[in-house]
Structure 1
């Protein structure tokens, strides 16, 4: 493979990619959790939540691909196993099938955690003057912040 010459030195590319690996792991874990809840949600809000979760996991599936491809663009291999994601993710897996309201709460916290992970990657990308990663991560933050707000809004006050 040819040497990568995109105006970001190798050390900075590696540091950004390591942060993106964590963002990828959080995003993939949240994707799996959302898909699981889509399949297993029950209760009076079934239809609304089932459809909302489907929208969310479809969006997350696209995001996973975008993040992994950015890691590859930086010249680093993207993680792609459950074991790797479990080691890198800040989002804990959920055992069993929680009630619908708990699902919404868990997903809200998951989206908020992805935002926090993204903020860490953003700082690294800014230090490296990596505008492409900054744009990707900033867009991801906006999506997760809005999704967390929408999920929170379905919960009883």
Structure 2
């Protein structure tokens, strides 16, 4: 069995790199959606949502960097073109959204998709005995589940 530089099974790591690149692509699309929402939101909830979308895109930007660096740690190459992102991305794309409930729904649908991918990665990383990726996915999941709960509470109001 061939090992990576960090001692993981090379074949299992290659599978993880593929899944992490899928998540990276989707995070890039999610990030771009959040930028658009931040710029285009209108209405009585403008100040609240403008700040929230900035918080979310700043957090996403950090996660994107963590994902790319994890891919590199696993001896893979992170995807880095929008062509690649669009080809494999599955989060919904939001265009010209300025209404608050439509914007929050887009974020919720995106987070739901990201959570699915992260849970798949968690299974793969567990099988590969990759605690680094496991820990990262667990942290992402806990944080995003809380955000889903809060955004759903906002929609219910």
What TM-score do the two structures reach when normalised by structure 2? 0.93
- What does 1:1-157 align with in structure 2 at a 5 Å threshold? 4-156=4-156
| 8 Å contact kept, 1:26–1:89 | yes
Q: What is the rounded CA distance, in whole Å, between the counterparts of 1:143 and 1:41 in structure 2? A: 24
| 8 Å contact kept, 2:13–2:74 | yes
- The worse-fitting range, judged by mean Cα deviation, of 103-112 and 92-101 is 92-101
Q: What is the rounded CA distance, in whole Å, between the counterparts of 1:98 and 1:39 in structure 2? A: 9
Aligned CA RMSD, in angstroms, stands at 1.3
| 8 Å contact kept, 1:109–1:148 | no
| 8 Å contact kept, 2:42–2:98 | no
Q: What is the rounded CA distance, in whole Å, between the counterparts of 1:6 and 1:73 in structure 2? A: 8
Number of aligned residue pairs: give it.
Answer: 155
Q: Unaligned regions of 5+ residues in structure 1, if any?
A: none
For residues 50-82 of structure 1, the C-alpha deviation after alignment (integer angstroms, 9 at most, x for no partner) is: 111111110000000000100011001000111
Q: Unaligned regions of 5+ residues in structure 2, if any?
A: none
How far apart are residue 97 of structure 1 and its match? 2.3
Structure 1 runs of 4+ off > 3 angstroms? none
Q: What is the rounded CA distance, in whole Å, between the counterparts of 2:77 and 2:140 in structure 1? A: 21
Q: What is the rounded CA distance, in whole Å, between the counterparts of 1:36 and 1:130 in structure 2? A: 35
